[in-house]
Structure 1
């Protein structure tokens, strides 16, 4: 988080000046159909997942072209789940950033929505075609600035970046993430602990405290599932280990938080009947894998980020003050994140049973049960 604050601080302090200077950098002239692409994607896991269908569309339109990605350490592992990508460089590793700038590309697409420095990086490549969102001064640096709205589903927003290339948006096919063999084998080995039982994955983590629902409530969901003969597998990072232990304390499943890489986490999720999560990158991984989800939204923009389709149920209390997150920044909450705390365990349990019944995991009689928090 410290490095993230540093990057945002640098963008705020020097971004406008850097944009003004970079606007004078000359570009190369285009020479025929594009044969090489660079997509710049700083930020979190969710953005990275939602960008994969756009990458697939580029590869379909230009099957012989190479596609590289300039990402951050915190989201780069997602791009290992896309076979269309040739190389992944790191935006926050200077040696790799400079290597990217020394590489010749025909098209550079900056997929960042607001911060300016990624647009400066795009201009420094001197690619003949530069595409990016026109949300502020950054628009000056692109040959093709694209309008951006926080009311568009994020997958749709990324597809809009392809309009200058004549690539039309297409229906997204699921799953669009691929699990490496080694990660699949490791995930399978870890799941031996539940002895072949049907299971639901729970991710209790969040990027900010305002998006956390709480281990106690997730634990009630685990208890309900155990009563139905369904195990629970908790996933997450080292910071989620304690919550995971609380969730499975009643012997309802296994806690894998802190024990898996991102690709191994994806392998576990792929084998589950359903994922329960707040608005998180892990939620979007499940969507990309074609796994049903029950998601809890509060500060985040459900219109932009919530999963679509009848295999996904979204719980959002719709308070007048939510969503409050704008371009990835959430202000301190004066009412103790009521948008999340007002979501009851009973609501989530009902949503889980309804979706498990609809997908055939549970018999139809179970979907009619009511679950009490008492």
Structure 2
């Protein structure tokens, strides 16, 4: 009989990508293991790229929503699936309620927010011993008292070439190793490299004969449109025009991605596209792009990382003083090293 595991997924696209090494470890921990994921609807595009996942079940709860009665009913419905173990990745009390109501025998996760009793296979988080998010997730495949088995593999998303071609055709694009910019950052403006810098960088790549695709959500459309206008209208603004699965396909076809610290940064790393990532208010010490083809740029100012959504000093020098020429040079060095490695 298969050993059935349910994963309570995190809420951010980058965090979802970083679960893949954990799922791989759980899949190979013992023979005949089936893994289902309980996740927001949008994240199915990410988890469908992971061969370890058998089924993605829709988590109907928005961020911060309690709805205790509905959680109880969800738990009782999940009980009929007879899971042997659940791994709860978010740290909130709310995320542990449904597995508890489902009476899943082994309920694994970090101690988190008042979760004693809700979880019974509890890990104590040592942030010094486990500095990376991907390591913290991977540790949950082991017994609480064990030291993490290293190395932890980089996250990987599968790519289907036929699906890539279908995405390109649907959007009227030609496959020519375009340069992709991901100018958005859901967390806030203190993580967004300035539009004028993206525009100046676009001009450099356009001079090199490259096509620029701007990719992100509908929330990023206005910023992307500004970049397009500042660069002379030569960029293709796709923000808000793609589904997440299409964005993954486009990033995988690209010759290079330049982005802020964002979920799409982790997607680019996981599909193996050469990547230059710009860090401002956040730090690569916890959630860096995990790829041998990634280059991280940060000015490491005394005031950063502050982890604020908006610069508390009002200037965002950590990003405004990171000049486009430096990003362009880093990209050229990266692309040369990737070519040599091939």
Cα RMSD for the two superposed structures = 2.8
CA contact (8 A) 1:322 1:339 kept: yes
Equivalent in the alignment of 2:256: 274
The whole-number CA distance in structure 2 between the counterparts of 1:357 and 1:319 is: 28
The change in CA–CA distance for 1:321 and 1:72 in structure 2 (over 3 A counts) is: farther
C-alpha deviations, 1:110-132, integer Å up to 9, x for none?
011x3211122232222221110
The change in CA–CA distance for 1:209 and 1:356 in structure 2 (over 3 A counts) is: same
Cα offset, 1:238, TM superposition: 1.7
1:224 is aligned, of 181, 204, 207, to 204
The whole-number CA distance in structure 2 between the counterparts of 1:224 and 1:172 is: 37
Equivalent in the alignment of 1:104: 82
The change in CA–CA distance for 1:353 and 1:237 in structure 2 (over 3 A counts) is: same
The change in CA–CA distance for 1:252 and 1:63 in structure 2 (over 3 A counts) is: farther
User: Would you say 1:177 and 2:157 are equivalent positions?
Assistant: yes
1:264 is aligned, of 214, 238, 246, to 246
Farther-moved stretch of structure 1 (265-274 vs 88-97): 88-97
Cα offset, 1:87, TM superposition: 1.7
TM-score normalised by L of structure 1: 0.77
CA contact (8 A) 2:251 2:273 kept: yes
- Tell me the secondary structure at the aligned position of residue 320 of structure 1: coil
C-alpha deviations, 1:192-250, integer Å up to 9, x for none?
53x44332111011112221112221111111111222221111112222333333443
Equivalent in the alignment of 1:118: 95
The whole-number CA distance in structure 2 between the counterparts of 1:301 and 1:115 is: 23
Unaligned runs of 5+ in 2: 62-69
The whole-number CA distance in structure 1 between the counterparts of 2:290 and 2:10 is: 24
CA contact (8 A) 2:179 2:255 kept: yes
1:316 is aligned, of 281, 284, 298, to 298
TM-score normalised by L of structure 2: 0.84
The change in CA–CA distance for 1:197 and 1:212 in structure 2 (over 3 A counts) is: same
2:143 is aligned, of 164, 172, 179, to 164
1:241 is aligned, of 207, 221, 239, to 221
The whole-number CA distance in structure 1 between the counterparts of 2:4 and 2:253 is: 35
Equivalent in the alignment of 2:271: 289
The change in CA–CA distance for 1:321 and 1:63 in structure 2 (over 3 A counts) is: farther
The whole-number CA distance in structure 2 between the counterparts of 1:71 and 1:344 is: 38
The change in CA–CA distance for 1:197 and 1:181 in structure 2 (over 3 A counts) is: closer
1:304 is aligned, of 286, 292, 295, to 286
Unaligned runs of 5+ in 1: 1-32, 362-374
CA contact (8 A) 1:34 1:107 kept: no
CA contact (8 A) 1:150 1:304 kept: no
User: Would you say 1:186 and 2:166 are equivalent positions?
Assistant: yes
Cα offset, 1:347, TM superposition: 1.9
Cα offset, 1:38, TM superposition: 0.4
User: Would you say 1:155 and 2:134 are equivalent positions?
Assistant: yes
Cα offset, 1:40, TM superposition: 0.5
C-alpha deviations, 1:280-330, integer Å up to 9, x for none?
1100011111112111112223111112454211112223343333xxxx4
Equivalent in the alignment of 2:336: 357
Cα offset, 1:60, TM superposition: 2.3
Higher RCO structure, 1 or 2 (CA under 8 Å, sep 6+): 2
Cα offset, 1:74, TM superposition: 4.5
